[in-house]
Every structure is written in structure tokens, then in C-alpha cells.
Amino acid sequence: MLVLTRKLGESIAIDDHIKIVVVQIKGKQVRLGIKAPKETKIHREEVYDAIQKQNSEASQSDINDLYKLSEELKKK
């Protein structure tokens, strides 16, 4: 992994069109500004973790829970 040191207000460029600026440093928090073309997807990594966890739980679904759901949905 490439590691760079930046000061407040400084930035790094990725390729020709992506720019990441250090906007604010407050204690243990760093605020970043990201300038990128519209088609670039930017997510916090937690989003991917949450999706993986949801997929993993879904993949082990118990078919009996689905029968239970079906019964529950029939109730008026």
C-alpha cells in the first residue's frame, strides 16, 4: 500500500480526474473532500461490509422461516 503524508488543505491526485483533499483534521477524525467524475462510485467501506454481512445471512436462510413468514402473511 502506498502511504503519503499530507497537511490540512493539501491533496492527492489519482489518475487525471480524481482529487482527494484533506478538508479538516479534528482529533482522531479526518474530513476528506473528493472530486471525481460522476461515474466514479465512492462509498464508505462499511457499506461493503454491511452488504457482505447481509448477503452472508441471506445465503443461509432457513426455508422453515419462509414457511413461517408465509403463515404470518396470511393472517388478516
- Residues forming contacts to other proteins in the complex (CB under 8 A) are 38-39, 41-43, 47-48, 50-63, 65-66, 68-70, 72-74, 76
Closest to other proteins by CB, 35 or 68? 68
* Phi (first) and psi of residue 42, to 5 degrees: -125, 120
Nearer to other proteins, 25 or 69 (CB): 69
Shortest spacing between CB 18 and other proteins, in angstroms: 15
Asked if residue 19 lies in contact with residue 35, where contact means CB atoms within 8 angstroms, the answer is yes
- Cα 49 → chain centroid: 7
Nearer to other proteins, 13 or 42 (CB): 42
Backbone angles phi, psi at 11, to 5 degrees: -140, 170
